[in-house]
Amino acid sequence: ALLLVRRGSQVCVAPRRRGHHLRRVVTERALVPLLVLFGGGAPMPAVGAPSTAELQRVEQETIGLFERNTPSVVFIDTYIEQRDAVTMNVMEVPAGTGSGFVWDDDGHVVTNYHVIRNAIEAKVTLVDAKTGKKVARRAELRGIDPDKDIAVLTVGTSASSPAPPGEEDNKQQRQEEAARFRPIDVGTSAELKVGASVFAIGNPFGLDHTLTQGVVSGLGREMRSPTGRPITNVIQTDAAINPGNSGGPLLDSRGKLVGMNAAIYSPSGASSGVSFAIPVDTLKTVVESLIAVGRVSRPVLGVSFLESGQARALGIQNGVLVLQAPADGPAAVAGMRGTSRSPDGSLQLGDVIVAVDGTTVNTEADMFKALDAKKPGDKVDVLVARGKRVNVDGSASSQDDVVTVQVPLAVTLGAADDLRVPPPMAGSTLTRK
Protein backbone atom coordinates (compact mmCIF):
# COMPACT_ATOMS: atom_id res chain seq x y z
CA ALA A 1 0.00 0.00 0.00
CA LEU A 2 1.09 3.58 -0.62
CA LEU A 3 0.66 6.32 1.90
CA LEU A 4 0.23 9.68 0.12
CA VAL A 5 0.58 12.78 2.29
CA ARG A 6 0.16 16.21 0.66
CA ARG A 7 2.41 19.01 1.90
CA GLY A 8 1.81 22.16 -0.11
CA SER A 9 3.05 21.57 -3.66
CA GLN A 10 4.72 18.30 -2.68
CA VAL A 11 3.40 14.84 -1.93
CA CYS A 12 5.01 12.32 0.41
CA VAL A 13 5.05 8.74 -0.87
CA ALA A 14 5.32 6.32 2.02
CA PRO A 15 5.17 2.59 1.16
CA ARG A 16 4.29 0.71 4.37
CA ARG A 17 6.25 -2.38 5.25
CA ARG A 18 6.18 -4.61 8.34
CA GLY A 19 8.42 -3.16 10.98
CA HIS A 20 9.60 -0.51 8.60
CA HIS A 21 8.31 2.88 7.50
CA LEU A 22 10.02 4.52 4.46
CA ARG A 23 9.01 8.00 3.38
CA ARG A 24 10.09 9.62 0.12
CA VAL A 25 9.22 13.11 -1.13
CA VAL A 26 8.49 13.73 -4.80
CA THR A 27 6.99 16.59 -6.79
CA GLU A 28 3.54 16.48 -8.32
CA ARG A 29 4.98 16.27 -11.85
CA ALA A 30 7.04 13.19 -10.95
CA LEU A 31 4.01 11.65 -9.18
CA VAL A 32 1.72 11.64 -12.23
CA PRO A 33 3.28 8.62 -13.97
CA LEU A 34 3.64 6.92 -10.59
CA LEU A 35 -0.12 7.15 -9.90
CA VAL A 36 -0.92 5.82 -13.34
CA LEU A 37 1.51 2.93 -12.82
CA PHE A 38 -0.05 1.88 -9.55
CA GLY A 39 -3.64 2.54 -10.61
CA GLY A 40 -3.96 5.53 -8.36
CA GLY A 41 -6.96 6.96 -10.23
CA ALA A 42 -7.00 9.81 -12.71
CA PRO A 43 -3.65 11.54 -13.15
CA MET A 44 -3.18 15.01 -11.82
CA PRO A 45 -3.38 17.86 -14.35
CA ALA A 46 -0.14 18.14 -16.33
CA VAL A 47 1.91 21.24 -15.89
CA GLY A 48 1.44 23.56 -18.94
CA ALA A 49 4.07 23.68 -21.70
CA PRO A 50 6.55 26.54 -21.28
CA SER A 51 5.77 29.66 -23.25
CA THR A 52 8.14 31.15 -25.79
CA ALA A 53 9.39 33.58 -23.17
CA GLU A 54 10.37 30.64 -20.93
CA LEU A 55 12.51 28.89 -23.50
CA GLN A 56 16.14 28.63 -22.68
CA ARG A 57 18.45 31.36 -23.92
CA VAL A 58 20.33 28.96 -26.19
CA GLU A 59 17.12 27.91 -27.88
CA GLN A 60 16.13 31.53 -28.36
CA GLU A 61 19.47 32.26 -30.01
CA THR A 62 19.08 29.29 -32.35
CA ILE A 63 15.56 30.37 -33.29
CA GLY A 64 16.77 33.90 -33.92
CA LEU A 65 19.67 32.66 -36.05
CA PHE A 66 17.31 30.66 -38.23
CA GLU A 67 14.75 33.44 -38.63
CA ARG A 68 17.41 36.01 -39.54
CA ASN A 69 19.08 33.86 -42.16
CA THR A 70 16.08 32.12 -43.75
CA PRO A 71 15.39 34.98 -46.21
CA SER A 72 18.99 34.68 -47.44
CA VAL A 73 18.71 30.97 -48.34
CA VAL A 74 17.24 30.03 -51.72
CA PHE A 75 15.78 26.89 -53.27
CA ILE A 76 17.18 25.95 -56.70
CA ASP A 77 15.35 23.82 -59.27
CA THR A 78 17.31 22.69 -62.32
CA TYR A 79 15.98 21.47 -65.67
CA ILE A 80 17.33 19.41 -68.55
CA GLU A 81 16.04 18.56 -72.02
CA GLN A 82 14.83 15.05 -72.64
CA ARG A 83 13.38 13.45 -75.77
CA ASP A 84 10.09 11.61 -75.35
CA ALA A 85 10.49 7.95 -76.30
CA VAL A 86 7.07 7.82 -77.99
CA THR A 87 6.55 11.18 -79.66
CA MET A 88 10.27 11.97 -80.04
CA ASN A 89 9.48 15.52 -78.94
CA VAL A 90 12.09 17.34 -76.86
CA MET A 91 10.74 18.30 -73.47
CA GLU A 92 12.11 20.25 -70.57
CA VAL A 93 12.01 18.12 -67.42
CA PRO A 94 13.14 18.67 -63.81
CA ALA A 95 16.66 17.42 -63.14
CA GLY A 96 17.18 18.04 -59.45
CA THR A 97 17.18 20.50 -56.59
CA GLY A 98 19.79 22.27 -54.52
CA SER A 99 20.39 25.19 -52.22
CA GLY A 100 22.12 28.54 -52.42
CA PHE A 101 22.28 31.90 -50.69
CA VAL A 102 22.00 35.57 -51.62
CA TRP A 103 25.41 37.21 -51.73
CA ASP A 104 24.62 40.90 -52.28
CA ASP A 105 21.91 43.47 -53.02
CA ASP A 106 22.35 42.98 -56.78
CA GLY A 107 20.72 39.56 -56.65
CA HIS A 108 23.82 37.37 -57.01
CA VAL A 109 23.22 33.87 -55.68
CA VAL A 110 26.08 31.53 -54.74
CA THR A 111 25.78 27.76 -55.01
CA ASN A 112 27.83 24.67 -55.90
CA TYR A 113 28.87 24.17 -59.50
CA HIS A 114 27.73 20.55 -59.37
CA VAL A 115 24.17 21.68 -58.54
CA ILE A 116 23.77 23.28 -61.99
CA ARG A 117 26.43 21.27 -63.83
CA ASN A 118 24.17 19.58 -66.38
CA ALA A 119 21.27 22.02 -66.33
CA ILE A 120 20.06 24.01 -69.31
CA GLU A 121 18.03 26.26 -67.02
CA ALA A 122 17.62 26.97 -63.31
CA LYS A 123 14.84 28.52 -61.29
CA VAL A 124 15.52 30.15 -57.93
CA THR A 125 12.86 30.45 -55.23
CA LEU A 126 13.64 33.01 -52.55
CA VAL A 127 11.88 34.91 -49.82
CA ASP A 128 11.08 38.50 -50.80
CA ALA A 129 12.55 40.57 -47.98
CA LYS A 130 9.88 43.27 -48.46
CA THR A 131 6.75 41.12 -48.47
CA GLY A 132 7.98 37.93 -46.79
CA LYS A 133 6.45 35.87 -49.61
CA LYS A 134 8.23 33.26 -51.69
CA VAL A 135 9.07 34.37 -55.22
CA ALA A 136 10.32 32.14 -58.05
CA ARG A 137 12.67 33.69 -60.61
CA ARG A 138 14.53 32.40 -63.63
CA ALA A 139 18.27 32.51 -62.95
CA GLU A 140 21.06 33.40 -65.30
CA LEU A 141 24.64 32.21 -65.03
CA ARG A 142 27.21 34.81 -64.03
CA GLY A 143 30.25 32.56 -63.79
CA ILE A 144 31.61 29.21 -62.61
CA ASP A 145 34.79 27.83 -61.12
CA PRO A 146 34.57 24.04 -61.51
CA ASP A 147 37.98 23.58 -59.85
CA LYS A 148 36.50 24.95 -56.60
CA ASP A 149 32.92 23.70 -57.19
CA ILE A 150 31.53 27.25 -57.08
CA ALA A 151 28.92 28.93 -59.27
CA VAL A 152 27.34 32.39 -59.19
CA LEU A 153 23.83 32.98 -60.54
CA THR A 154 21.96 36.24 -61.04
CA VAL A 155 18.27 36.67 -60.25
CA GLY A 156 18.02 40.46 -60.31
CA THR A 157 15.65 42.27 -62.65
CA SER A 158 18.56 43.33 -64.84
CA ALA A 159 19.36 39.69 -65.46
CA SER A 160 15.88 38.47 -66.39
CA SER A 161 14.91 41.39 -68.63
CA PRO A 162 16.59 44.49 -70.03
CA ALA A 163 15.74 47.83 -68.51
CA PRO A 164 13.10 49.82 -70.44
CA PRO A 165 14.47 52.58 -72.71
CA GLY A 166 15.30 55.67 -70.72
CA GLU A 167 15.19 53.85 -67.36
CA GLU A 168 18.69 52.39 -67.33
CA ASP A 169 19.68 54.80 -64.56
CA ASN A 170 16.45 54.68 -62.59
CA LYS A 171 17.89 54.92 -59.09
CA GLN A 172 14.58 54.39 -57.31
CA GLN A 173 13.86 51.22 -59.26
CA ARG A 174 17.27 49.80 -58.41
CA GLN A 175 16.78 50.62 -54.74
CA GLU A 176 13.40 48.91 -54.67
CA GLU A 177 14.89 45.85 -56.34
CA ALA A 178 17.80 45.74 -53.88
CA ALA A 179 15.36 45.89 -50.95
CA ARG A 180 13.89 42.56 -52.04
CA PHE A 181 17.11 40.70 -51.33
CA ARG A 182 18.52 39.79 -47.93
CA PRO A 183 22.27 39.20 -48.39
CA ILE A 184 23.82 36.70 -46.03
CA ASP A 185 26.17 37.97 -43.33
CA VAL A 186 29.64 36.89 -44.48
CA GLY A 187 32.13 35.93 -41.78
CA THR A 188 35.55 34.27 -41.83
CA SER A 189 36.70 30.67 -41.62
CA ALA A 190 40.20 31.52 -40.38
CA GLU A 191 39.05 31.66 -36.75
CA LEU A 192 37.18 28.35 -36.70
CA LYS A 193 38.12 25.81 -34.04
CA VAL A 194 37.27 22.13 -33.77
CA GLY A 195 34.30 21.80 -31.44
CA ALA A 196 32.70 25.11 -32.40
CA SER A 197 28.94 25.01 -33.04
CA VAL A 198 27.78 25.32 -36.65
CA PHE A 199 24.37 25.40 -38.31
CA ALA A 200 23.36 24.32 -41.82
CA ILE A 201 20.29 25.67 -43.62
CA GLY A 202 19.21 24.12 -46.89
CA ASN A 203 16.64 22.12 -48.79
CA PRO A 204 17.35 18.41 -48.23
CA PHE A 205 15.16 16.11 -50.32
CA GLY A 206 13.20 19.16 -51.49
CA LEU A 207 12.21 20.21 -47.95
CA ASP A 208 12.87 23.93 -48.06
CA HIS A 209 14.56 25.87 -45.25
CA THR A 210 15.59 22.97 -43.06
CA LEU A 211 17.91 23.69 -40.12
CA THR A 212 20.42 21.19 -38.77
CA GLN A 213 23.01 21.70 -36.06
CA GLY A 214 26.40 20.22 -35.29
CA VAL A 215 30.00 21.04 -34.50
CA VAL A 216 33.19 21.52 -36.46
CA SER A 217 34.60 17.99 -36.52
CA GLY A 218 37.82 18.78 -38.35
CA LEU A 219 39.72 21.43 -40.27
CA GLY A 220 42.15 21.35 -43.18
CA ARG A 221 40.42 18.46 -44.92
CA GLU A 222 40.68 17.88 -48.65
CA MET A 223 38.02 16.93 -51.19
CA ARG A 224 37.90 16.49 -54.95
CA SER A 225 36.21 19.04 -57.17
CA PRO A 226 34.07 17.97 -60.17
CA THR A 227 37.17 18.40 -62.37
CA GLY A 228 39.26 16.15 -60.14
CA ARG A 229 41.42 18.90 -58.69
CA PRO A 230 41.76 19.07 -54.90
CA ILE A 231 39.91 21.64 -52.80
CA THR A 232 41.98 22.32 -49.70
CA ASN A 233 41.25 23.64 -46.18
CA VAL A 234 37.79 22.09 -46.27
CA ILE A 235 35.65 22.15 -43.12
CA GLN A 236 34.36 18.84 -41.73
CA THR A 237 31.18 18.88 -39.65
CA ASP A 238 28.67 16.42 -38.22
CA ALA A 239 25.71 18.70 -39.00
CA ALA A 240 23.27 16.60 -41.04
CA ILE A 241 23.79 17.26 -44.76
CA ASN A 242 21.69 15.37 -47.30
CA PRO A 243 21.00 15.53 -51.05
CA GLY A 244 19.54 18.98 -51.68
CA ASN A 245 21.72 20.69 -49.05
CA SER A 246 24.51 21.29 -51.57
CA GLY A 247 25.18 24.99 -52.03
CA GLY A 248 23.54 25.98 -48.75
CA PRO A 249 25.27 28.04 -46.04
CA LEU A 250 27.16 26.77 -43.02
CA LEU A 251 26.84 29.33 -40.22
CA ASP A 252 28.66 29.87 -36.95
CA SER A 253 26.89 30.56 -33.65
CA ARG A 254 26.70 34.27 -34.49
CA GLY A 255 24.84 33.53 -37.71
CA LYS A 256 27.76 34.46 -39.96
CA LEU A 257 28.66 32.50 -43.08
CA VAL A 258 31.74 30.31 -42.54
CA GLY A 259 31.34 27.82 -45.38
CA MET A 260 29.22 26.42 -48.21
CA ASN A 261 27.97 22.85 -47.80
CA ALA A 262 29.31 20.77 -50.65
CA ALA A 263 29.62 17.04 -49.99
CA ILE A 264 29.08 14.15 -47.61
CA TYR A 265 30.93 10.91 -47.00
CA SER A 266 28.31 8.21 -47.02
CA PRO A 267 28.00 4.69 -48.49
CA SER A 268 24.20 5.09 -48.57
CA GLY A 269 24.04 8.63 -50.01
CA ALA A 270 22.34 10.00 -46.88
CA SER A 271 23.88 11.81 -43.94
CA SER A 272 26.39 9.72 -42.00
CA GLY A 273 27.70 12.49 -39.76
CA VAL A 274 30.67 13.28 -41.99
CA SER A 275 29.96 16.36 -44.11
CA PHE A 276 32.22 18.85 -45.85
CA ALA A 277 31.93 22.57 -46.57
CA ILE A 278 34.06 24.89 -48.70
CA PRO A 279 35.54 27.56 -46.37
CA VAL A 280 34.21 31.08 -46.83
CA ASP A 281 37.71 32.54 -47.14
CA THR A 282 38.16 30.47 -50.33
CA LEU A 283 34.63 31.33 -51.38
CA LYS A 284 35.07 35.09 -51.10
CA THR A 285 38.04 35.26 -53.46
CA VAL A 286 36.35 33.20 -56.16
CA VAL A 287 32.91 34.81 -55.88
CA GLU A 288 34.26 38.35 -56.05
CA SER A 289 36.17 37.49 -59.22
CA LEU A 290 33.16 35.79 -60.82
CA ILE A 291 30.92 38.75 -60.06
CA ALA A 292 33.45 41.27 -61.34
CA VAL A 293 34.59 39.64 -64.60
CA GLY A 294 32.63 36.38 -64.87
CA ARG A 295 35.69 34.13 -64.59
CA VAL A 296 38.62 33.23 -62.35
CA SER A 297 42.26 33.63 -63.38
CA ARG A 298 44.28 30.78 -61.92
CA PRO A 299 48.10 30.63 -61.74
CA VAL A 300 49.66 28.02 -64.04
CA LEU A 301 53.13 26.75 -64.84
CA GLY A 302 52.23 26.40 -68.50
CA VAL A 303 52.79 22.66 -68.90
CA SER A 304 50.81 19.55 -69.72
CA PHE A 305 51.61 16.49 -67.61
CA LEU A 306 51.02 12.79 -67.26
CA GLU A 307 48.75 11.63 -64.45
CA SER A 308 50.62 9.99 -61.62
CA GLY A 309 48.87 6.63 -62.11
CA GLN A 310 50.12 6.40 -65.70
CA ALA A 311 53.54 7.78 -64.81
CA ARG A 312 54.15 4.86 -62.45
CA ALA A 313 53.94 2.54 -65.43
CA LEU A 314 57.02 4.34 -66.77
CA GLY A 315 58.87 3.85 -63.50
CA ILE A 316 58.24 7.34 -62.10
CA GLN A 317 57.15 6.80 -58.50
CA ASN A 318 57.30 10.39 -57.30
CA GLY A 319 56.84 13.71 -59.05
CA VAL A 320 54.91 15.00 -62.06
CA LEU A 321 56.19 14.13 -65.53
CA VAL A 322 56.08 17.05 -67.97
CA LEU A 323 54.67 16.04 -71.36
CA GLN A 324 54.72 19.40 -73.08
CA ALA A 325 56.10 22.83 -72.24
CA PRO A 326 54.96 25.20 -75.02
CA ALA A 327 57.72 27.50 -76.21
CA ASP A 328 55.87 30.67 -75.23
CA GLY A 329 54.76 29.32 -71.83
CA PRO A 330 56.19 30.30 -68.42
CA ALA A 331 57.82 26.90 -67.83
CA ALA A 332 59.60 26.77 -71.21
CA VAL A 333 60.88 30.32 -70.78
CA ALA A 334 62.42 29.20 -67.47
CA GLY A 335 64.09 26.23 -69.19
CA MET A 336 61.73 23.36 -68.43
CA ARG A 337 61.74 20.48 -70.92
CA GLY A 338 58.90 18.28 -72.11
CA THR A 339 58.80 14.65 -73.24
CA SER A 340 59.93 14.05 -76.84
CA ARG A 341 61.04 11.44 -79.35
CA SER A 342 64.70 10.95 -80.24
CA PRO A 343 65.82 10.62 -83.89
CA ASP A 344 65.89 6.84 -83.52
CA GLY A 345 62.26 6.83 -82.30
CA SER A 346 62.92 6.15 -78.62
CA LEU A 347 61.03 8.05 -75.95
CA GLN A 348 62.95 10.73 -74.10
CA LEU A 349 61.20 11.56 -70.86
CA GLY A 350 60.89 15.19 -69.97
CA ASP A 351 61.51 16.91 -66.66
CA VAL A 352 59.83 15.58 -63.55
CA ILE A 353 58.59 18.26 -61.15
CA VAL A 354 59.55 17.16 -57.63
CA ALA A 355 59.11 20.39 -55.62
CA VAL A 356 57.46 23.82 -55.85
CA ASP A 357 58.68 26.53 -53.49
CA GLY A 358 60.12 23.93 -51.17
CA THR A 359 56.93 21.82 -51.07
CA THR A 360 57.51 18.22 -52.11
CA VAL A 361 55.46 17.16 -55.13
CA ASN A 362 54.59 13.46 -55.33
CA THR A 363 51.44 13.74 -57.47
CA GLU A 364 49.64 16.38 -59.52
CA ALA A 365 47.41 17.04 -56.50
CA ASP A 366 50.48 18.19 -54.55
CA MET A 367 51.40 20.50 -57.42
CA PHE A 368 47.93 22.05 -57.50
CA LYS A 369 47.98 22.61 -53.73
CA ALA A 370 51.38 24.27 -53.93
CA LEU A 371 50.09 26.66 -56.61
CA ASP A 372 46.74 27.26 -54.95
CA ALA A 373 47.98 30.07 -52.72
CA LYS A 374 49.79 31.82 -55.58
CA LYS A 375 48.65 34.46 -58.04
CA PRO A 376 49.43 34.97 -61.73
CA GLY A 377 52.71 36.85 -61.99
CA ASP A 378 54.20 35.37 -58.81
CA LYS A 379 57.64 33.81 -59.07
CA VAL A 380 58.10 30.29 -57.77
CA ASP A 381 61.15 28.05 -57.38
CA VAL A 382 60.54 24.75 -59.16
CA LEU A 383 62.86 21.80 -58.68
CA VAL A 384 62.86 19.25 -61.51
CA ALA A 385 64.55 15.87 -61.92
CA ARG A 386 66.21 15.61 -65.34
CA GLY A 387 67.94 12.73 -67.07
CA LYS A 388 71.46 13.48 -68.27
CA ARG A 389 73.64 11.33 -70.51
CA VAL A 390 77.22 10.80 -69.37
CA ASN A 391 80.10 8.54 -70.45
CA VAL A 392 80.76 5.67 -68.11
CA ASP A 393 84.59 6.02 -68.12
CA GLY A 394 84.99 9.26 -70.02
CA SER A 395 86.21 7.60 -73.24
CA ALA A 396 84.54 8.34 -76.55
CA SER A 397 84.06 4.63 -77.30
CA SER A 398 82.23 3.79 -74.07
CA GLN A 399 78.45 3.43 -73.77
CA ASP A 400 76.44 6.41 -72.58
CA ASP A 401 74.67 6.13 -69.27
CA VAL A 402 71.75 8.22 -68.00
CA VAL A 403 71.83 9.72 -64.52
CA THR A 404 69.25 11.87 -62.80
CA VAL A 405 70.20 15.36 -61.72
CA GLN A 406 68.10 17.95 -59.98
CA VAL A 407 67.78 21.31 -61.71
CA PRO A 408 66.33 24.39 -59.98
CA LEU A 409 64.22 26.69 -62.15
CA ALA A 410 62.67 30.09 -61.44
CA VAL A 411 59.22 30.25 -63.07
CA THR A 412 56.99 33.32 -63.34
CA LEU A 413 53.45 31.96 -63.16
CA GLY A 414 51.09 32.61 -66.03
CA ALA A 415 47.30 32.99 -65.93
CA ALA A 416 44.61 30.69 -67.25
CA ASP A 417 40.90 31.39 -67.23
CA ASP A 418 39.83 28.90 -69.88
CA LEU A 419 37.14 26.49 -68.75
CA ARG A 420 37.90 22.86 -69.51
CA VAL A 421 34.18 22.07 -69.21
CA PRO A 422 31.23 23.41 -71.21
CA PRO A 423 29.35 26.12 -69.28
CA PRO A 424 25.95 25.02 -67.93
CA MET A 425 22.62 26.83 -68.29
CA ALA A 426 23.11 27.65 -71.95
CA GLY A 427 19.34 27.74 -72.30
CA SER A 428 16.73 25.48 -73.81
CA THR A 429 16.46 24.83 -77.50
CA LEU A 430 12.69 24.87 -77.12
CA THR A 431 10.69 27.92 -78.14
CA ARG A 432 9.46 29.65 -75.02
CA LYS A 433 6.09 31.37 -74.82
Residues annotated catalytic, as ranges: 114, 149, 246
Q: Would you say 90 and 430 are in contact if contact means Cβ atoms under 8 Å apart?
A: yes
Q: Alpha helices of 202-301 — where are they, by DSSP H?
A: 280-293
Cα–Cα nearest to 43, from 33, 54, 58, 51: 33
Cα–Cα nearest to 125, from 106, 142, 140, 138: 138
Across-strand partners of 352? 321, 385
Q: How far apart are CA 76 and CA 138, in angstroms?
A: 10
Phi then psi for residue 401, to 5 deg, are -125, 155
Q: Which helix (H) or strand (E) holds 175?
A: helix 171-178
Contacts of 283 (CB under 8 A, 6+ apart): 110, 150, 259, 260
Q: How far apart are CA 418 and CA 144, in angstroms?
A: 11
